[in-house]
């Protein structure tokens, strides 16, 4: 039996893209400040959590699993963000 592994690049998102996505999904009051507070509270930049990475340009980029976590948060708090 042969097994082939294919390395793929995960899609990456800038914080502003995540905020815009939440706006487009009906949460216009979700702001960059809210995003920053959330990732700090969750300690989401901890490399062991796998929510994102730092690229060669020195900027932090988020993975889709973080976008899902943000989505879960805003849906759980619609009175705050809708």
φ/ψ of 13, rounded to 5, equals -130, 140
CA torsion 77→29→82→62, rounded to 10°? -60
pLDDT at site 57:
93
**pLDDT, position 4:** 81
Which two structure tokens, joined as six digits, stand for 43? 């300690």
Calculate Rg over the CA atoms of the chain.
Answer: 15
Low-confidence stretches of the chain (pLDDT < 70) are none
pTM: 0.89
Q: What is the pLDDT of residue 46?
A: 96
What are the tens digits of pLDDT across the range 14-25?
999 999 999 999
Q: Dihedral angle at the C-alpha atoms of 34, 36, 39, 40, nearest 10 degrees?
A: -110
pLDDT of residue 48: 94
d(CA 15, CA 22): 11
């Amino acid at each position: 039996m042969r097994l082939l592994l294919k390395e793929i690049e995960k899609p990456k998102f800038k914080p502003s893209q995540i905020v815009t996505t939440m706006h487009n999904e009906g949460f216009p009051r979700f702001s960059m400040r809210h995003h920053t507070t959330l990732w700090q509270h969750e300690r989401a930049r901890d490399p062991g959590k796998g929510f994102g990475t730092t690229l060669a340009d020195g900027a932090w980029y988020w993975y889709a699993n973080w976008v899902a976590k943000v989505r879960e948060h805003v849906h759980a708090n619609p009175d705050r963000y809708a």
